[in-house]
Amino acid sequence: MMNRCGLLTPEKEPVPLKSIEVELEVRDHVATVVSTLLYENKEDKPIEAVFVFPLPGDAAVCHFSAVIGQTQIVAEVKEKQQAREEYDDALSSGQQAFLLEESDQSPDIFSLSVGSLPPGESASIRLEYVTELAVQADDGLRFCLPAVLNPRYQPQGRKTSKLSVTSVPASLVPYSLSFSARVSCPRPISTVESSSSLDPLQYLNAEKTQATVNLAAGHKFDRDVELLIYYTDAHQPTAVVEAGQASAKPGTVMGDLMVMLSLYPEFPQAVMSSVASCEEFVFLIDRSGSMGCPTSSSKREETRISSARDTLLLLLKSLPMGCYFNIYSFGSTYEYIFPKSVEYSEKTMEEALKKVEEMTANLGGTAILKPLEHIYSQPCIPNQPRQLFVFTDGGVGNTKEVIDLVKKNSGSHRCFSFGIGEGASTALINDLAKEGGGHAQFITGGDRMQPKVRNSLRFALQPAVQDVSVTWDLPKGVSVTVLSPPITALFQGQRSLVYAQITGQSSEAAEGCVTVKYNLAGHLSQNQLRFSLQPAEDTGLTVHRLGARTLIRSLEIEEREHRGQQVGGLKEKVVELSVQSGVSSSFTAFIAVSKSDGKEIQGPLVRRNIPAPSTPEPPRDPLLQLVSLQKASGCWLLDAALAAALGKTSEEVEKPKPASEVWATVLALIWLHGFKTDAKEEWELLAMKAVSWIHAQNGNSHNNHQDNLYAFNKMSINSSV
């Protein structure tokens, strides 16, 4: 048998990673993840095993240790170059060493090097990280354990990453996965769902505030493991106050109290209903080769590019009259439909849809930087706030450069990002939205893309808030240092997280108050949250580590912005904070060297790269077939195409009433309400546009519409649709 992508050694022995065990603990909307990786060297010579793998982009890696035989080695965080030199020195002197480091180009790619593993020896690696859980369109909290590391596209001329990954068919991945989760929350847990098979949810108390769930036995780690966790009354503002580390110096990030605020702003309904939305919509669609892959392993017939095309159809039909729009697509190169954004009309919509129908996954790599630069070079249209929608299934080799560009232009637009399929870069998708003041969504497993995109369209149609300020009211002698970047974007009912360091002493009964003030369409509004300064129990250092990670990321971005300028000390600040908090950064690495027995490992060291798994158009959805016939104004035409979409003959459709656009539009609305109520969130906006169009017509009486409704209902009873 031939050596297949590094899966087998030259002696046809399997690679040394044998199994992965993951324990997940979720508390409210924060997750602690402990992964144990078991390595075994079955060769007759010492090896160096290198495993490149993804983690969530906002994860704070906070512990790394190894057990060889009866000896445990706990890694330290050190400056990255120093850690690499110590690792190389250990290997050259025949010692066992372990190195965990983050990619220089993307914060969600890590490499684990297991050095000088002797013949016949096993090593158990323990890796721990904490992360926030993102809120999805349906209010579920999303946890994802990435399994698929899509090859990251590196634009020509860019510095390449030292990290590389070997990919093989999923069926040939030799390591197994076991996964268990424990969930707790002050509010009842409604359900836990997954695209993977789960054992039944087990509640641990009568209040249903604690539960456990396991991945079903036999799972092949060939795709991401995604959990969606639903709580009762999820949208409640909360504050978690955590005690500092006993061994840390007071006045430092780890030594003081840390508070994590979860804010859910509620906008005044009177203001929201009075705002008319006229905006510029720019859609950026990934057409790289991987977009031709199935949307998920369970929906082999639907490709990512076909799902993106269908979604664009719904988006274009849902846009309000008077807005402007344009569509870009990209791969190794990029294209656009119009030289600049055009006013939304029947003519421009039809021209765009024709080009969308022709889109295929034929543009090569994933070079997203150039089209973004071109979009930002276009002047904004006065009184038409720019809304950028980005759809991509993969990652890029220059993630940090892309994010820096979006942040630089954050004042001119809002960015809504969508990760399509298993393996999409969490760092790219989340940070596009975070730095662009928008919202991120992931479409995986059996998800339909349209409901999630429609939810983001609702956000985009909300007025942008301005002049956001956060003020604190604390007892005398207590001060606050906010670690999170300033809030620049707020959406109705969507969570905003704030981490802050609390310095000083207060009584046990002391309270704090935080007030968020903002300008919404010219109206001043505010929301308040009062909280106890008494630390919560049993939170460990989770909040401190997430707060430290937030500050580290902000300092890293600032360092890149000022690189080459006479602004020093930022890298040193990151290294100091990373070492102090024990949280990974782009400038540090975890290093562990075993010196227990003093024996050198004999024999030449062999490097083994450990593989990661790799991964015809279906009939058109009847809903999408009907939507495709709607005009930009909101109406439908009474013709043979509409009859076919409704499952009727032209005679059946035209018989009850004479031909008219009003009657055709009423028929379409009745069909939607009668037969597609389960997908209402997908077509609700375009239906509202159709109703508005009907009301705007003259010479069509209310009684005529009632007759139309009665006639179609009768027709529906007599023949199936």
Residues 368 and 512 in one domain: no
Residues 286 and 409 in one domain: yes
Residues 48 and 188 in one domain: yes
DSSP assignment of 423-440: T--HHHHHHHHHHTTS-E
d(CA 336, CA 352): 10
Residues 183 and 296 in one domain: no
Residues 6+ away with beta carbon under 8 Å from 694: 635, 662, 665, 666, 700, 705
Per-residue pLDDT tens for 644-696?
A: 888 888 888 777 665 588 889 989 999 998 888 888 878 888 998 998 888 88
| pLDDT at residue 411 in the model | 84
Residue 7 in any domain: the answer is no
For the record, the structure tokens of 69 come out as 């035989």
As a whole number, mean pLDDT of residues 182-208 equals 92
Note the pTM of the prediction, 2 decimals: 0.75
| pLDDT at residue 267 in the model | 79
Residues 188 and 251 in one domain: no
| pLDDT at residue 615 in the model | 54
Residues 71 and 188 in one domain: yes
Residue 185 in any domain: the answer is yes
Residues 244 and 172 in one domain: no
Percentage of residues of the chain with pLDDT beyond 70: 83
Residue 11 in any domain: the answer is no
Reported as a pLDDT band with limits 50, 70 and 90, residue 166 is low
Rg (the chain; Cα; Å): 28
Say how many domains are in the chain.
4
d(CA 20, CA 444): 22
Per-residue pLDDT tens for 320-343?
A: 888 999 999 999 899 999 999 999
The pLDDT mean for the chain works out to 82
What percent of the residues of the chain are helix, what percent strand, and what percent coil, each to the nearest 5?
Answer: 30, 35, 40
d(CA 483, CA 501): 7
d(CA 228, CA 447): 12
Residues 243 and 342 in one domain: no
Q: Do residues 219 and 173 make contact, with C-beta atoms less than 8 angstroms apart?
A: no
As a whole number, mean pLDDT of residues 263-278 equals 74
As a whole number, mean pLDDT of residues 389-417 equals 87
Residue 362 in any domain: the answer is yes
Asked if residue 299 has pLDDT above 70, the reply is: no
Candidate from 45-59, 93-107, 589-603, 651-665 with smallest mean pLDDT: 589-603
Reported as a pLDDT band with limits 50, 70 and 90, residue 721 is very low
Half-sphere exposure of 70 (CA within 13 A, CB side): 1
Residue 163 in any domain: the answer is no
Q: Which residue has the higher pLDDT, 351 or 720?
A: 351
Largest CA distance in the chain: 96
Q: Do residues 132 and 577 make contact, with C-beta atoms less than 8 angstroms apart?
A: no
Last residue of a domain, one of 461, 483, 503: 461
Q: Do residues 230 and 190 make contact, with C-beta atoms less than 8 angstroms apart?
A: yes
Reported as a pLDDT band with limits 50, 70 and 90, residue 287 is very high
Q: Which residue has the tokens 């906010």?
A: 482
Read off the CATH number of the domain in which 216 is found. Answer: 2.60.40
Residue 545 in any domain: the answer is yes
As a whole number, mean pLDDT of residues 491-519 equals 87
As a whole number, mean pLDDT of residues 122-127 equals 88
Reported as a pLDDT band with limits 50, 70 and 90, residue 620 is low
Residues 551 and 610 in one domain: no
Residue 391 in any domain: the answer is yes
Asked if residue 579 has pLDDT above 80, the reply is: yes
Q: How many CB atoms lie within 10 A of CB 53?
A: 21
Residues 6+ away with beta carbon under 8 Å from 535: 241, 242, 243, 257
Read off the CATH number of the domain in which 347 is found. Answer: 3.40.50.410
Asked if residue 161 has pLDDT above 50, the reply is: no
Asked if residue 348 has pLDDT above 80, the reply is: yes
Domain containing residue 404: 277-461
The DSSP bridge pattern shows strands 479-482 and 496-503 to be antiparallel
Asked if residue 167 has pLDDT above 50, the reply is: yes
Asked if residue 189 has pLDDT above 80, the reply is: yes
Last residue of a domain, one of 440, 461, 482: 461
Asked if residue 523 has pLDDT above 60, the reply is: yes
As a whole number, mean pLDDT of residues 592-603 equals 61
Per-residue pLDDT tens for 66-91?
A: 888 778 889 999 999 999 999 999 88
| pLDDT at residue 8 in the model | 35
Residues 685 and 608 in one domain: no
Asked if residue 438 has pLDDT above 50, the reply is: yes
Asked if residue 640 has pLDDT above 70, the reply is: yes
Residues 714 and 661 in one domain: yes
Residue 2 in any domain: the answer is no
| pLDDT at residue 9 in the model | 39
Q: How far is CA 186 from CA 45, 119, 240, 315, in A?
A: 53, 50, 12, 38
| pLDDT at residue 461 in the model | 83
Residues 226 and 134 in one domain: yes
Last residue of a domain, one of 437, 461, 485: 461
